[in-house]
Amino acid sequence: MAEFATPTRRMANASGHTHAAADRSPREASIAASLNARASVTAQRRIAAALVQRRAATPVVQCFFDHGDYTFSKNQRYAIDEDGGQSSGYAAQGEAAPHQSTADGTAELPNPAWQGAAEAGADAADAAPETITYDRYKPAIEVLEDCTHGMEEIMHGQQLNEGHDVSDLIHPETGARSLWGESDALNVQRGAATDQDAEASPAVGQGYVIVRQSGDGTKYHGAAVVAKDGPDDMTMETWRRVGADEDAPRVVPTYEMYGREGEQSFQHQWRETFGEDSTVSVAATRALPAGAAVGDEGDADDAV
């Protein structure tokens, strides 16, 4: 529809991810500083955790876990790391490749079971390998440095022009779809109507979308799910660094890891930025309109 291809929609898309320096909370300033240093979103969360006191009543549900320089999913089927600001993703040999990822050789990762065995005694340690061979992957796509637009590009598996309707939020009970990105006001309304809180569980090829429901600050964040291991999701995502009136560059997204409940959920990891009443929805692709894909014949402003 033509009205969705206007500059108004593009501004709504972009303004959701831009941090004005004067409006930043201390946590947002920390996140921005980490991004400027090309740290991953995982690193941002860890920096923020040192600045924000966790509420004592919050239950801790351990699913994914850190071991050495890596974060492993619960069953160790997938892992992520950070290397010079550009993360790598790992899949245990025989597991499916992460969505929109390119093979990048193999790597020997530390075996968490070996550490436990070593602590139990030398004989036990000898029974468990110290390392495990994983297939290593890197993102197969450069995305626009805008979190929900980048999420949409990863979900669709191709670069997209701004200003088109390319994803929906899914109602958790009825499966009804609500267009994402029509306006800020409708994004808030539809985010509330499709809220799944910490229980949101996008399939591979779908995404998380968190929406601020009140107060000032950053409006949205999105992350595309590229692999799943039980209660854990590996995502690829980015964050907009430039202002809404500036052209965002294309960047390599980073791999991240989320659980389903407690402090590991997508909701908990981001609610300090988006507010205690923020909502988390599942986003899914919709058919691409003419001119949406980069390289298509049509112009985004002429699409119908």
Neighbours of 238 (CB within 10 A): 31
- Residues 59-73 as b/e (b if ≥16 CB within 10 A, e otherwise) read eeeebbbebeebbbb
Q: For residues 35 and 241, what is the distance between their CA atoms, to the nearest angstrom?
A: 8
Regarding pTM above 0.85, the answer is no
Looking at residue 108, its pLDDT comes to 95
Looking at residue 50, its pLDDT comes to 36
- pLDDT (tens digit, 9 = 90+) per residue, 62-91? 567 777 789 999 999 999 986 545 689 999
At 146 the three-state DSSP class reads coil
Q: For residues 64 and 175, what is the distance between their CA atoms, to the nearest angstrom?
A: 28
Q: For residues 185 and 243, what is the distance between their CA atoms, to the nearest angstrom?
A: 20
- pLDDT (tens digit, 9 = 90+) per residue, 31-68? 444 444 434 444 444 434 433 333 333 334 456 777 77
User: Which residues of the chain carry a pLDDT beneath 50?
Assistant: 1-28, 30-61, 84, 299-304
Looking at residue 52, its pLDDT comes to 34
Q: Which helix (H) or strand (E) holds 224?
A: strand 220-229
Q: For residues 212 and 218, what is the distance between their CA atoms, to the nearest angstrom?
A: 7
Looking at residue 17, its pLDDT comes to 41
